[in-house]
Amino acid sequence: MPDLTLERQFNAGPARVFEFISKTEHLLKWWGPEGVFLPEHNLSFERTGPWMSVMQNAEGQRFKVSGHVTHVDPPKSIGFTWAWHDENDVRGVESHVTIRLVPEQNGGTQLQLSHVDLPEETAESHQEGWNSTLNKLERLL
């Protein structure tokens, strides 16, 4: 199964970044691609337990994803399970997300995201050349 790993640097320190990746009020500012809104959500990674979000795009299509928060270790890491629901609300293959925050010498934070146990048919296997194209579309959406 393809695994996805991403790294990002942020200027803010780990404590601040952790708030932004765990508290509902902050998660709602960045969860999902630009242009989607969240008509339903239970998004908090401050505690273990269930989470879910429904994302709706400009054409009215709804995408539901849900899982269980498995660990919360502020300001270092968060783990949760992840699965998309189909149009009949049947939950698909479960994958696992871990977000780790590593302090940097300049006071910033490196965020390391891993998303593993993904189903084969998703696009992660097509790595080369994807990012620039997706970044372009990101700006448009």
Which residues of the shown chain bind other proteins in the complex (CB under 8 A)? Answer: 4, 6, 8, 10-12, 16-17, 20-21, 26, 29-34, 36, 55, 57-59, 61, 63, 84, 95, 111, 113, 115, 118, 122-124, 126-127, 129-131, 133-138, 140-141
**Identity of the residue, 42 or 134, whose beta carbon is nearer to other proteins in the bound complex:** 134
Contact 113, 103 (CB under 8 A): no
Residue whose structure tokens are 């965020």: 111
- The minimum distance between CB 49 and other proteins, in angstroms, equals 21
Minimal distance in Å, beta carbon 50 to other proteins?
Answer: 20
Q: In what order do the strands lie in the sheet with 95-103?
A: 4-10, 109-116, 95-103, 77-85, 62-73, 49-56, 37-42
Nearer residue to other proteins within complex by CB, 42 or 137: 137
Structure tokens at 5: 């790993």
Query: Per the structure block, which two tokens stand in for 75?
Result: 């300001």
CB of 25 to other proteins, least distance (A): 11
CB of 73 to other proteins, least distance (A): 19
Q: Which residues contact 9 (CB under 8 A, 6 or more apart)?
A: 104, 108, 109, 110, 111
